[in-house]
Amino acid sequence: MNITEFGVMPSSNTHQTEKIQAALDTAAKNRLPLTIGAGVYITGTLFLPSNLNLVLEKGAYILGSDNFNDYSDKVNLFTDAVDHLRGRSLIYADGAENITISGEGVIDGRGGIFSPNHPHHFERPFLVRIMNSKNISLNGIMLKNPAAWTLHLMNCENINIEDIKIQSRANGNNDGIDIDACRHCLINNCFIDSGDDAICLKTTVDAPCADITVKNCLISTNWAGFKIGTESVGDFSDIRFENSTIYDCNGCAIKICPVDGGNLDGLTIKNIKLINSTGPIFIANGDRLRAYQGQNRRTTESCIKNIVIDGLYGDCINAVGTTYKGEAWGNAKSVVCVSGTDTQHIENITLKNFNLKMDGNVLEYTPRTVPPMGKRYPEFHNFGILPAWGLYVRNCDNFSYDNIDFTKKHDDTRDKIIIE
């Protein structure tokens, strides 16, 4: 079926939400592919039905409406980690199955419209949000210019995301892909250019995030490249991040920071290349223990265990100091950091086959007690300048490293490696 059969024609000034929705529903009901040809199609929220096979041909552009009221509030709304009410979306599904979106077309949220001066800036819509669904496939398409997060999948199963491109720097909180309490997910051969976390695993509900593979991706980001947390009510297990490159990363290449009671058991990171990246690794727990969507899982710190990082290569830089909510934000020096707490040690961590150029460049350092993470939002700058320029580890049981090569680009008075 072609969308023109439903009276939907390319137009740069006509909003066609109702007609496009009717086409989606009819095609899905009849289990027939729906093709959208080249041209511009402006729409508000579209609800994806089960059994939808949507094909966006090359040159097809689905553009988000410039009217906030065109984004339905008949969706699951929630308060995110930075206290903003989220949930409205351009593309939305809840409780659906067997959804495929493929082709060479573009879904563009025109997120710059909802600038900080916009009255609904803090409620600005996601681009694609799929909840409580299974058998989801995204292939080949481009996701572009979201007003908030780009692609959010929550409590879904059997997800296949391959060969997609994401350009996400039109506004604040421009995450690339957020995998939230999902099971059996593959992200393969994707290009992500994001203003916030590029690929982020989280659990805003007490359901596991398990069997997740991210591989063969090219990532550039203004914040984290690959992240687990901060929202972490549910557990994480059987996670793999492999054969990928992170470049021009300003907020730490790899972050593992569950702090809301959910545990991490089983993470393999293998063969990752870094170019001009801060961090590069920050693994830490804490006791923020925040509730999301009315769910507060535990009253104890998260347990992090069984992590293997094998093959990490490239160039690391010191972060550039900024401020956020009145405090220093992002001004950490390059270092691999593994930090458990006095009451909840991290367990079974193996690092091997590293070849990293670290920035160094700390010429004066006064020994001090490194503060705990506590209840703060977990970030790699929270500990201040650490006492090592290469590797710093504390409160970690059964920690090992082998064939670790750190070199520093600038003189530094601190030790290369400190394990407390």
- β-partners of residue 353 are none
Q: The tokens of 402 are what?
A: 């082998």
356, 312 Cβ separation under 8 angstroms: yes
Please check whether residue 374 is in contact with residue 344, taking contact to mean a CB–CB distance below 8 angstroms: no
Task: With respect to residue 52, please indicate whether it lies within any of the assigned structural domains.
Answer: yes
Instruction: Give the pLDDT confidence of 206-217 residue by residue, as tens digits.
Output: 999 999 999 999
Same domain, 179 and 303: yes
Same domain for 262 and 384: yes
Handedness of CA 317, 199, 398, 206 (dihedral sign): positive
Residue 260 lies in a domain: yes
Cα separation of 114 and 116, whole Å? Answer: 7
Q: Is the pLDDT of residue 81 over 70?
A: no
Nearest to 142 by CA among 64, 223, 60, 203: 60
- At 326 the pLDDT is 65
**Residue 400 CB neighbour total at 10 angstroms:** 11
Q: Please give the tally of structural domains in the chain.
A: 2
Give the pLDDT confidence score for residue 301 in this predicted structure. 87
Give me the pLDDT at residue 296, please. Answer: 66
For residue 83, what pLDDT band results from cuts at 50, 70 and 90? confident
* pTM metric for this prediction: 0.97
Q: Mark whether 118 and 229 lie in a shared domain.
A: no
Is the Cβ–Cβ distance between 162 and 189 less than 8 Å?
Answer: yes
Length of the chain: 420
Side chain identity, residue 50 = S
DSSP code, position 26: H
Query: Cis link prior to 258 (omega < 30° from 0)?
Result: no
Residue 125 contacts residue 92 (beta carbons within 8 Å): no
Q: Are residues 122 and 201 in the same domain?
A: no
Q: Could you tell me if 148 and 294 lie in one domain?
A: no
The token pair at 202 is: 């989280």
pLDDT, greater one: 7 or 330? 7
Which pLDDT tens digit goes with each residue over 344-379?
999 999 999 999 999 999 999 999 999 999 898 899
Domain encompassing residue 3? 1-160
Same domain, 47 and 136: yes
Position 57 scores a pLDDT of 98
Asked if pLDDT for residue 132 goes beyond 80, the answer is yes
What mean pLDDT do residues 50-62 have?
Answer: 98
Is residue 42 included in any domain, yes or no? yes
Which of these, 90, 75, 159, 98, lies nearest to 126 by C-alpha position?
90
Closest CA to 370 of 332, 327, 398, 322: 332
At residue 1, does pLDDT exceed 90?
A: yes
Residue 168 lies in a domain: no
CA neighbor of 272 nearest in space, from 251, 241, 249, 250? 241
Burial zone of 268 (CB within 10 Å; 0-12 exposed, 13-18 middle, 19+ buried): middle
Query: Quick one: average pLDDT of 118-140?
Result: 97
Residues 283 and 418 in one domain: yes
Q: What percent of the chain has pLDDT over 70?
A: 97
Same domain, 153 and 183: no
In Å, how far are 9, 32, 107, 144, 267 from 57, measured between CA atoms? 14, 16, 11, 16, 37
CA distance 248 to 197: 13
Q: What pLDDT is recorded for position 65?
A: 98
Looking at the structure, do residues 306 and 391 belong to the same domain, yes or no?
yes
pLDDT at 160 over 80: yes
Residue 165 in any domain: the answer is no
Q: What is the pLDDT of residues 293-339, one digit of tens each?
A: 777 666 788 999 999 999 999 999 999 877 666 667 677 899 999 99
pLDDT of residue 419: 96
pLDDT at residue number 324: 62
Considering the domain architecture, whether residues 255 and 382 belong to the same structural domain is answered as yes
SS3 (DSSP) at 3:
helix
- Kindly report the number of other CB atoms within 10 A of residue 370's CB atom: 17
Give the position of tokens 């006791």.
Answer: 287
Q: How far apart are CA 15 and CA 85, in angstroms?
A: 26
Q: What is the pLDDT of residue 78?
A: 83
Are 36 and 66 members of one domain? yes
Residue at a domain's end among 160, 189, 224: 160
> What are the pLDDT digits (tens) for 253-297?
999 999 999 999 999 999 999 999 999 999 999 999 888 877 766
Predicted confidence band of residue 234 (pLDDT cuts 50, 70, 90): very high
Domain end point (choices 137, 160, 183) = 160
Burial label for 116, CB within 10 Å (0-12, 13-18, 19+), is exposed
Asked which of 130, 160, 190 is the last residue of a domain, the reply is: 160
Of the pLDDT bands very low, low, confident and very high (cuts 50, 70, 90), residue 86 is confident
170 within domain boundaries: no
How far is it, in rounded angstroms, from Cα 20 to Cα 32?
15
Tokens 């409160």 appear where? 395
Which of 36-45, 72-81, 159-168, 330-339 has the least mean pLDDT?
A: 72-81
Give the C-alpha distances (Å, rounded to integers) separating 257 from 42, 94, 346, 399: 39, 28, 11, 18
Q: Indicate which CATH number applies to the domain containing 352.
A: 2.160.20.10
Question: pLDDT digits over 379-420, tens only?
Answer: 999 999 999 999 999 999 999 999 999 999 999 999 999 999
Residues 239 and 303 in one domain: yes
pLDDT in the model for residue 331: 77
- d(C-alpha 280, C-alpha 263), whole Å: 22
Find tokens 């990363």 and name the residue: 249
Tell me the average pLDDT of the chain.
Answer: 95
Determine the pLDDT at residue 163. 98
